[in-house]
Amino acid sequence: MKSVPINILLAEDDPDDRFFFTKALNEIPIATQLTIVRDGEELMEYLFANLNNLPTILFLDLSMPRKTGFECLTEIKEDPKLKDLTVVMISTSFQRDLQYEKNMIKMLYDIGAEDYIRKPNDFILLKNIIHNTITNTIEKKCEG
């Protein structure tokens, strides 16, 4: 029996980050179908146009043009049609300090993010993080 691919949506404005995410996804042993949007406005338009076929997981970059990941997460979790969407926030580390990052992560979880990933500079680590995140999400969905 062939497994149905996991529907993944990536909202990421950086071309290099999109490339490495796609490459990592292609190398993990899980069947996936990837859709990419490049900014927050494009993300929200995509979600509302696909309400009957929402992704299994949205990987949402925190820093994007036109509408930030933070703004998108808030909109998603406040909308009854989107609030159950699994959202994993991704970001480069914050330049300010560790406490600022901890506070930001707590705020993202409070709004409704399922997880937070700091983008690693190491490809193998990125691949492992994506694999583990997808696996954990699927396990939670099967339990719930």
Encode pLDDT of 35-77 as tens digits: 999 999 999 999 999 999 999 999 999 988 889 999 999 999 9
Q: What CATH number belongs to 8-62+69-137?
A: 3.40.50.2300
- Written in H, E and C, the secondary structure of 69-91 is HHHHHHHHHHCCCCCCCEEEEEE
What pLDDT is recorded for position 144?
62
**d(C-alpha 7, C-alpha 98), whole Å:** 33
- Residue 144 neighbours by CB under 8 Å, 6+ apart: none
**d(C-alpha 87, C-alpha 71), whole Å:** 13
Backbone angles phi, psi at 122, to 5 degrees: -100, 125
The answer to whether residues 60 and 88 touch, using CB atoms and an 8 Å cutoff, is yes
Out of 72-76, 89-93, 114-118, 119-123, pick the least confident. Answer: 89-93
Residue type, 102: K
Predicted TM-score of the model (pTM): 0.92
